[in-house]
Amino acid sequence: MSRQVIRLHPAAPAKPPEAAPCNGCGVCCAAEPCPIGVLVSGRRTGACAALLWKSDAGLYRCGLVSAPREVLRGLPGFAAPLLSRLARRWISAASGCDSSLQVEAAT
Ligand code: SF4
Ligand code: SF4
């Protein structure tokens, strides 16, 4: 089994089991970008550039869905709602946790 160090906000919720509702723990997106995240991040490894910590909610959100213009600075305002809707579909938001990663807290 390969191991990888990822950095998450200390207040982030613990990763739920696979298929449970997504709680915004951020583990999957901090480990590697999804296909659309690869385009946004310009890399296939490491944390996705679109992953945003939401301190008011105490969880991570996909910035392409929740704040497209924070992620893509040049995005025109009129295009943001469309991109948000498309991104929600592309990443299958609300379909449950699809990550089988096992998390160990740093000691
Ligand atoms: S899909 Fe799973 S690992 Fe990814 S943020 Fe949601 S709960 Fe965390
Ligand atoms: S779901 Fe969003 S934040 Fe997560 S890897 Fe994909 S594009 Fe990046």
Question: What are the structural domain ranges in the chain?
Answer: 27-90
Alpha carbon of 84 to ligand 1 centroid (Å): 18
Alpha carbon of 76 to ligand 1 centroid (Å): 29
How would you label 35-66 residue by residue, b for 16+ Cβ within 10 Å and e otherwise?
A: ebbeebbeeeeebbbbbbbeeeeebbbbbbbb
The model's pLDDT over 31-65, given as tens digits with 9 standing for 90+, comes to: 999 999 999 999 999 999 999 999 999 999 999 99
The pTM score is: 0.94
Q: Is the pLDDT of residue 107 over 80?
A: no
34 touches ligand 2 (CB under 6 Å): yes
Inter-residue contact 20 to 100 (CB < 8 Å) = no
Alpha carbon of 29 to ligand 2 centroid (Å): 5
- Tell me the C-alpha distance between 56 and 27, whole Å: 19
- Tell me the C-alpha distance between 89 and 59, whole Å: 20
**Rounded mean pLDDT, 80-91:** 96
